[in-house]
Amino acid sequence: MDATTQPATLEVGGMTCDDCALHVTDALYSAGAQDVAVTWRTGEARFTWPEGLAEGDVRAAVEAAGYRPGKLRLLTGALPRETGGGHYDYDLVVIGAGSAAFAAAIKATEAGYRVALVEHGTLGGTCVNVGCVPSKALLRAGELAWTTGHHPFAGLSTASGPVNVRALVAQKDALVEELRQKKYADLVADYGFAVIHGHGRFSGPEVLEVDGRSIRARVYLVATGASPAAPPIPGLTEAGYLTSTTALEVTEVPKRLVVIGANAIGLELGQFFVHVGAEVTFVDVAERIAPFEEPEVSAGLAAVLESQGATIHTGAQVLGVKRGENHVTVSMQVGEHPFDLVADEVLVATGRRPNTEGLGLEVAGVELDGRGAMVVGNDLRSANPRIYGAGDVTGAPQFVYVSAYEGALAVDNALLGLERTTDFTGLPRVTFTSPQVASAGLTEAQAVAAGYVVETSVLPLSAVPRALVNHDTAGLVKLVAEAGTGRLLGASILAEGAGDVIQTAVLAIRHGITTAELAATFHPYLTMAEGIKLAAQTFTRDVDKLSCCAA
Residues annotated as part of the active site? 15, 17, 20, 67, 127, 132, 548-549
* CA-closest candidate to residue 397, choices 262, 220, 226: 226
- Between CA 269 and CA 29 the distance in angstroms is 55
Q: Cβ(266)–Cβ(243) under 8 Å? A: no
Strand order in the sheet with 337-343: 316-323, 328-334, 337-343
* CA-closest candidate to residue 476, choices 446, 449, 436: 436
The amino acid at 349: A
Stretch (H or E) spanning 345: strand 345-348
The amino acid at 119: E
Distance, C-alpha 141 to centroid of its chain: 22
The burial class, CB within 10 Å (0-12 / 13-18 / 19+), for 452 is buried
Stretch (H or E) spanning 450: none
Cβ-based neighbour number of residue 435 at 10 Å: 24
The per-residue DSSP string of 198-252 comes to: S-EEESSSSEEEETTEEEEEEEEEE---EEE-----TTHHHH--B-TTGGGG--S
Q: Which residues pair with 456 in a beta bridge?
A: 480
Radius of gyration from C-alpha coordinates of the chain: 26
- Between CA 467 and CA 146 the distance in angstroms is 18
- Between CA 369 and CA 194 the distance in angstroms is 31
The CA-atom distances, in angstroms, between 62 and each of 5, 46, 57, 247, 314 are 20, 13, 9, 54, 62
